[in-house]
Structure 1
Amino acid sequence: MERRHAALIAVTTAVLLLAATASVPVSTWLRPRIVRLAYAIEQRGVVYSWGGGHAERPGPSKGTCVGYRGSVRPCPAARTRGLDCSGFTRWVYAMAYGTDVLGPGNTDDHVRRLRRVRTAPLPGDLVFFGTVAGRTVRTHHVGVYLGGGRMMNAPETGARVRVDRVSRLKDFAGYYRY
């Protein structure tokens, strides 16, 4: 009888734990994963490549020189395997969510798939720069918010994925969440 009672307690405990963890919002456990993945990519030393990360599947790819306006000449993107800022965030989110939730496109396309954070941002949110006002969306940069005013981003040609202060760029457009 004591064995049956112990088995019943074990099963009840397991069911309660499953119910409790199943009711935890996805963002609660996913946010730290997003930040860990961003740091893991930084540790790889992935380089910036204009248009990199926008192949059919997320992840480092050769970039493109179409639309390139960087200072490094000639444009190195077509021969450089790496990530641009939106390619970086696309890859981080695809790994965290298990599917390409941001999809192809640039920062304007990505911000349209997200909702603006009106209260305090959380680590793992995306931070955009440019203009987002009503139907006008003209963004030019995005990073993964780490907390404490810092973001992980692929900043510019010649750089590697790195941590910068959010205040490094002057045209902050807002924090956004999937």
Structure 2
Amino acid sequence: MKRRLAVAAALILLVATASIPLETRMLPLIVRIAYEVEQRGIAYSWGGGHAAEPGPSKGTCKGYHGRIKPCPAARTRGLDCSGLARWVYALAHGTDVLGPGNTNDHVRRMRRVDSAPLPGDLVFFGKITKKAVKTHHVGIYLGNGKMMNAPETGAVVRVDDIARLKDLAGFYRL
């Protein structure tokens, strides 16, 4: 599995590097991979990216509360927000460091960044206290108030302002 992820990451980097703006080539590996994934136009799919291996997969309609009815996730190959973070981190690290699970599971594997966040950190939304973790969204911090994310049903992986969501829970790093 590690070898396949490493080969996939190398191929993605080789194919996409030429089409990435020069300024993004200087960014951390996690951010570069996030931009490469964005260029693929991958659809949002509730539960997508949570198969045995990280990467786009068909989603699930279990727990779906999206605006598009009936739920398209079970027939849509794509990523949800935590599936995107899982796949990008797996490509960057050569192994599935975040593992399966949702945003609550992923934030528990990381440490909060109390000082200035760095591009490549994860930005979580929801509520995190000492007693409870209840997050609903995660994005990959790009810097300058921007994040790469899989935002909602009907959208594709894209760059959004962090301020688009009002309940910032914090920045986290492995």
TM-score (ref. length: structure 2): 0.84
Shift, 1:135, TM fit: 2.5
What 5-or-longer segments of structure 2 have no aligned partner? 1-26
2:132 aligned partner, one-letter code: T
Shift, 1:56, TM fit: 0.2
Q: Quick one: distance in 1 between partners of 2:146 and 2:124?
A: 13
Matches within 5 A, 1:1-178: 32-178=28-174
Q: Quick one: distance in 1 between partners of 2:58 and 2:159?
A: 23
2:113 aligned partner, one-letter code: V
Length, aligned pairs only: 148
Q: Quick one: distance in 2 between partners of 1:109 and 1:174?
A: 15
Shift, 1:177, TM fit: 0.1
Instruction: Give the 3-state SS of the residue equivalent to 1:44 in structure 2.
Output: coil
Q: Quick one: distance in 1 between partners of 2:138 and 2:152?
A: 12
Percent identical residues: 74
Q: Quick one: distance in 1 between partners of 2:83 and 2:150?
A: 9
Q: Quick one: distance in 2 between partners of 1:94 and 1:117?
A: 21
Q: How well do the aligned residues superpose, as a CA RMSD in angstroms?
A: 0.6
Q: Quick one: distance in 1 between partners of 2:156 and 2:166?
A: 21
Q: Quick one: distance in 1 between partners of 2:93 and 2:112?
A: 19
Q: Quick one: distance in 1 between partners of 2:60 and 2:94?
A: 26
Q: Report what 2:23 is aligned to.
A: none
Q: Report what 1:10 is aligned to.
A: none
What 5-or-longer segments of structure 1 have no aligned partner? 1-30
Q: Quick one: distance in 2 between partners of 1:99 and 1:85?
A: 19
Q: Quick one: distance in 1 between partners of 2:51 and 2:121?
A: 23
Q: Quick one: distance in 2 between partners of 1:32 and 1:111?
A: 20
Q: Quick one: distance in 2 between partners of 1:106 and 1:94?
A: 15
Structure (1/2) with the larger helix percentage = 1
Structure with larger Rg: 1
Shift, 1:34, TM fit: 0.2
